[in-house]
Structure 1
Amino acid sequence: MPSLDISLPHWAYWVGLIVFPLVAMVLARRPQPQHKTYGLGLGYFILLTGGMLGLHRFYVKNLLGLLFIPVFLAILYANAQGQDARSATSNANNIVRQAERLLDREQDRVTAAEADLPTLRAELIAAQAEEEAGSFALRRVERNVERAEQRLNEGRTRIAEATSDLETARPIALTTLNALAYWNNFAKYAFWVLLAAMAIDVFLLPGLIRRANANLPATPAMSEAEIALKKLEDSERKEDSEWVSPGWSGWIDRLSLFAGEFVSYWAVIAVFVYYFEVITRYVFNSPTNWAHESMYLMFGMQYLIAGSYAMLTESHVRVDIFYAPMRKTNKAWVDLATSVFFFIFAGTLLWTCYIFSFDSIAVPTGNGVVSEWARGNLSFGEMVGSLNLAQWTDPAIRWGEISFNEWEVPLWPMKWVMVIGGLLLVLQGISKIAQDLRTVLKGA
């Protein structure tokens, strides 16, 4: 299989987190047609993202998409067999290398021992004739002979074992190497078959969309029961705009609604990223070094930014056995009394996030003017005056903390997003107090 080594640029990561939600929000606000039809744009999008599984044909109810699945499964099977063959080849090659190094080392030692042993034995015979039994000189010569014989025997044993390992491992290495080449070619040719089928469907898809739309049944008129059910569902559904309070606090509520909707589309990005990771790992044998880290950092930011939205729409889990039956005015009094605990939490969160964020740009590895300012080496005016294009584009300049893996994504922007999340939460708490005061004053 061809390699697919793609490392996501840091700027592309941030552009995607900002641009994709904005585009999605615009598309979500478009008026929806009454009669649903198949779209060519969506068809090509599915072809691009899920074409290897034939999902574009399933989209238009074409059963020929089933032909894509066994080919795709064959690629996964071939890759799994290739990984096993690669591991077996690596193990066999390691045994061969170790055995060859052992032979090179032990053969020299055995040769030296064989050359020294006759001399040592002659010394032993002479010592036995000249020295008394049990004397120090005799024992020393005897030990030298014993050590030489032991070294010779051990060396010969190791050489025999290494020779046996070579005779066993070399054929295995050759066999597994051939198996690896076979399964790699199998997966490669199956992949080219899928690519060819997808390329053909690029031209066939408009016709498939037209036929699918032509086969759509006419939209039946809704019955009275269906109309009544739809009205009931519409009446029970509370739109986000209905959470906006009147007066000056409304702009805080709208900001929380925007932030919540904005980060909600990040979950869609996660689907595409993890899909890409699965495909690159199991189809191209090229796992990424950025997919997992980029997503858990994104979810951390999403969790904090969406906090104000969850507070506004009362989405947090809470036990309200005594709170729920209360009148609206009494609920407002309870909320005002307990708001002090909320602001202790939210204020601590905001201040702690600010400390973490400021420290993240003051780390010693930061060599940009912003880091110099954070460390107190530059005044704010000097920092602003020193900013230039190189501070933004030079890859050698780091404004602050970065991750420890190969992707080396800057971590300080994520920590400043934590500050934004804490600030939004505090603002939403202020809006909630304003609403409760209105309720208490009006006595509603």
Structure 2
Amino acid sequence: MRWIIKLDEGLAYLSIFCGWVACAAMILMAGNVFYDVVARYAFNEVSIGMQEMEWHLYSVVFLLGIPYALRTDGHVRVDVFYTRWSDKTKAWVNIVGAVIFVIPFAYLIWNYGYNFAVESYSMGEGSGDPGGLPHRWVIKSVIPISAVFTGIAGFNMVTFAIRVISGDKTYEPKHGAEGLA
């Protein structure tokens, strides 16, 4: 059982790391939007590259926020039934959900996302807009990277559920940013 605890905590660390990266990207995105608004309305300057950077950063926030949300139970679920169930029932539902849905879906996204990013790199794809960001493959590579972390978070759901079934952990309601704020 000790190896499950160490594995669970190690996998949790990876998801928390994704949360920190998403948090940093959100702060950078806010600064980017602030710069863009001030430049546009105060100095009548428009930067296509900075506007593209906004959606690049938003993509990082969204894609790397998924593993963090899975780890902290911050994802969307049907709580009508889930909240009334015992911890062991919740654990079994999470195991089945992770094994049947999360991990295969992450593999599917990784498989297609990897080819998507490699093709972009091979073509030397950049922005279609003048003044836009070059190297579009960089943001496209975040898709398979986030899929790997999502698959790891799905596996972490399983290890945590095993700890709940064994009585080592509980599904207690958590509020806040789990140390991110």
* TM-score higher than 0.5: yes
Could you tell me how far 1:424 is from its partner in structure 2?
A: 0.5
Task: Provide the residue aligned with 1:415 in structure 2.
Answer: 140
Q: Secondary structure at the match of 1:260?
A: helix
**CA drift at 1:442:** 4.8
**In 2, are the aligned partners of 1:260 and 1:305 still within 8 Å (CA)?**
yes
Q: Which of 134, 149, 156 pairs up with 1:431?
A: 156
CA displacement, residues 238-268 of structure 1 (integer Å, 9 cap, x when unaligned): xxxxxxx832221111111122122212222
Residue segments in structure 2 that go unaligned for 5+ positions in a row: 170-181
Cα displacement string for residues 35-63 of structure 1 (whole angstroms, at most 9, x for unaligned residues): xxxxxxxxxxxxxxxxxxxxxxxxxxxxx
- In structure 2, C-alpha distance between the alignment counterparts of 1:408 and 1:330, rounded to whole Å: 49
Aligned mates of 1:443, 1:253 — CA distance in 2: 16
% identity of equivalent residues: 24
Gaps of 5+ in 1: 1-244, 364-399
Q: Which residue of 1 aligns with 2:30?
A: 271
What SS class does the counterpart of residue 306 from structure 1 fall into?
Answer: helix
Taking the TM superposition and a 5 Å limit, the aligned residue runs for 1:333-412 are 333-339=92-98, 340-363=100-123, 400-406=124-130, 407-412=132-137
Q: In structure 1, how many angstroms separate the alpha carbons of the residues matched to 2:89 and 2:31?
A: 47
The number of residue pairs the alignment matches comes to 164
CA contact (8 A) 1:249 1:434 kept: yes
Q: Is the 8 A contact 2:7 2:159 kept in 1?
A: no
**Against the structure 1 CA distance between its residues 334 and 280, is the aligned structure 2 distance closer, same or farther, given a 3 Å change threshold?**
closer
Match of 1:297 in 2: 56
Q: Secondary structure at the match of 1:430?
A: helix
TM-aligned CA deviation for residue 321 of structure 1: 1.4
CA RMSD of aligned residues (A): 2.0
Amino acid at match of 1:356: F
1:323 aligned to 2:47?
no
Q: Secondary structure at the match of 1:265?
A: helix
Larger Rg: 1
- Secondary structure of 2:129's match? coil
Query: Which whole-Å CA distance do the structure 2 matches of 1:281 and 1:338 have between them?
Result: 47
**Aligned in 2, Cα 1:286/1:343: closer, same or farther, shift over 3 Å?**
same
Q: Which has the higher contact order (CA 8 A, sep 6+)?
A: 2
In the alignment, structure 1 residue 281 sits paired with structure 2 residue 68: no
Name the TM-score, length of structure 2 as normaliser.
0.82
Amino acid at match of 1:352: Y
Q: Which runs of 4+ in 1 moved over 6 A?
A: none
Asked whether the 8 Å contact 1:304–1:418 carries over to 2, the reply is yes
User: What TM-score comes out, normalization by structure 1 length?
Assistant: 0.35
CA offset digits 1:273-311 (Å, max 9, x no partner)? 222222222222222222211111111122111111011
Q: Any conservation in 1 of the 2:110–2:147 contact (CA below 8 Å)?
A: yes
